[in-house]
Amino acid sequence: MTASLLCDREMRKNPRQRLLLLCGLPRLLAALLISAVLLAPNTGQAGDARSYTFDTYSNWVQKYRDAKPDFKPGDVLTSRDIERMRPFVPPGFLEDLDFPEFQAPIIATRNNTPRQDFVNCTEKYQSQVKLLPNGALANYVCGQPIADSSINTSDPTSGIKAAWNFNFRWQHYGITKCAPVITWARFPGTHAGYAPNYENPPQDWVAGVGGWTFEHPGMDEMASIYGGGGALERTLQLFYSRLYYTHLAPLSEKGGVLPIEEAPNFEFKEFDGFFSPFDIRGTAFVTYRYADAGRADDAWAYLPTLRRVRRISIEVKSDSLLGTDHTLEDFYGFTGRPLEWDWHFLGWKDVLTVMDSKYDFQRTYGPKGIVPNDQWQLRRFAVVQRIPKNPRHTYGSVINFWDAENWDSFYEVAFDRHGRLWKLWFYPKRWSEDFEHPYYAQINHGTQVTNFQGVQVEDVQNNHATVWPCYCGYPVPDLKVLPVFLSASKLEEIHR
């Protein structure tokens, strides 16, 4: 059966999968991805979480808004303490902690404030920032745009205010070295004996971000990353880079703009390139986010099956990324354009999370292999709902949990177009100043940023997950090399 017929048939049968958009990709790639969906076994629903709706989370926030813990730093919570954790772990995530081996050593909440130049920007410029009637910002230079004190449930603009604080959180110059390993897992099952062949990114990609080398963790370290259950089906390897062009606190004396001619026109550019396995090797994307908040992104893809670059529909950003449970728009917890969503602030909430991991690289365990085997702390989060203005968007709505101190993302919850819980994301983090691995310490120390350890995405409707161990850095970019590497015109030259 041709790829186009498969697209038509599957779109009629299951429009939520939005397979139709895959038909805009080359037919070979479309057929490959659709086949993966059609042949993947469905082993049933994932417990009670399949019945959760937005009201489940809204009611949880309201019920436990002022809850105080009866545990303290130094305590070790186990599965016997699920009810003690219920006020502080969002529904859906809590159920995944209920297994005999679970332990959560509680540590003191540590201040992880952004670097002083970002704090200085906030103090200097925040008072001049205005929210326009369409939700855009005016007079924003750098630092945190909106004071936390002005975000509350009685102000209907608090949702978009929170979105801008997240969008312009402290990220140094952006991630310029990141190589996640993306693994698909299906429940139940075991991955005992699973031994993926990890590779390094193509040397011309690594050189393209400015002369840094790249190091995977050692194989012993890699083996310890995947604990617990889940049948690991397939591993993809991705090289990723994002560079911010404007609103840069380290360059506040120069208006926060990179010293290159095109910089004032852009907020950021990013590159996503897949180099393993063989059937997707060379697939790469470049995305432009413009400084004008009302201007749509531009994106291009290099597709090996066509051996050429083509512009891609921006709607593809909300579809499955090469068959994973993640989309391009899900990066960082949200990487869409704030003005394309309606925002609602649900409240401030104390939540247990992994912010100061005791490891350089993540550890996971549990029956599904997606729970961080780490130390936890209680932190204050802004809980925000976003609803897409585009009626054809994959998600019906999404809830984000953003840290009140540095506005980084730790939890995310997505609902389908029928309002049913669909996906859960958890983002364990490692403070940049805590890295001990010589390579990652070198490129991260001094940045004072929360660094991705990984991403766990669970599809509760299909008993499936995507696990992303991430190895990231925030070095000062080489401005003679990286902007050229991020150019759409270079896509054909940098593929493998």
Predicted local distance difference test score (pLDDT) of residue 315: 61
> With 90 as the cut, is the pLDDT of residue 40 above it?
no
Predicted local distance difference test score (pLDDT) of residue 41: 35
Cis peptide before 277 (omega within 30 of 0): yes
Predicted TM-score of the model (pTM): 0.88
133 sits in the region (left: phi over 0; alpha: psi -120 to 50; else beta) called alpha
429-440 pLDDT, tens digit per residue, is: 999 999 998 888
Predicted local distance difference test score (pLDDT) of residue 304: 85
Predicted local distance difference test score (pLDDT) of residue 235: 87
Q: Tell me the C-alpha to C-alpha distance, in Å, between residue 3 and each of 26, 29, 139, 200, 392.
A: 9, 9, 49, 32, 22
> With 50 as the cut, is the pLDDT of residue 7 above it?
no
Strand-pair partners of 345 = 384
> With 70 as the cut, is the pLDDT of residue 116 above it?
yes
Strand-pair partners of 412 = 400, 425
404 vs 95: CA distance, rounded Å = 25
Residue at 78: amino acid letter: T
Predicted local distance difference test score (pLDDT) of residue 242: 94
Contact 348, 404 (CB under 8 A): yes
CB burial string 21-38: b at 16+ within 10 A, e below = bbbebbbebbbbbbeebe
% residues pLDDT > 90 (the chain): 60
Predicted local distance difference test score (pLDDT) of residue 214: 65
Q: Tell me the C-alpha to C-alpha distance, in Å, between residue 172 and each of 62, 271, 279, 394.
A: 35, 17, 35, 31
Residue position matching structure tokens 């009685």: 154
> With 50 as the cut, is the pLDDT of residue 19 above it?
no
Which of the residue ranges 11-15, 194-198, 254-258 would you say has the lowest mean pLDDT? 11-15
Predicted local distance difference test score (pLDDT) of residue 181: 81
Predicted local distance difference test score (pLDDT) of residue 220: 66
Q: How far is CA 301 from the centre of its chain?
A: 20
Which of the residue ranges 62-66, 78-82, 183-187, 354-358 would you say has the lowest mean pLDDT? 183-187
Greater pLDDT, 282 or 155? 155
Which of the residue ranges 71-85, 200-214, 228-242, 433-447 would you say has the lowest mean pLDDT? 200-214
Query: Is the CA virtual torsion 120, 124, 130, 136 positive or negative?
Result: negative
- The rounded mean pLDDT for the chain is 86
> With 70 as the cut, is the pLDDT of residue 32 above it?
no
Greater pLDDT, 487 or 20? 487
Greater pLDDT, 25 or 405? 405
User: Would strands 421-426 and 371-372 be described as parallel, antiparallel, or unpaired?
Assistant: unpaired
Residue 344: which residues within 8 A CB-CB, separation 6 or more? 159, 384, 385, 386, 387
| pLDDT, mean of residues 367-384 | 96
Joined together, the tokens standing for residue 283 give: 């697939």
163-222 pLDDT, tens digit per residue, is: 999 999 999 999 987 777 888 888 888 887 776 677 888 888 877 776 666 666 666 666
Which of the residue ranges 103-117, 121-135, 222-236 would you say has the lowest mean pLDDT? 222-236
| pLDDT, mean of residues 24-45 | 35
> With 50 as the cut, is the pLDDT of residue 141 above it?
yes
Residue at 342: amino acid letter: D
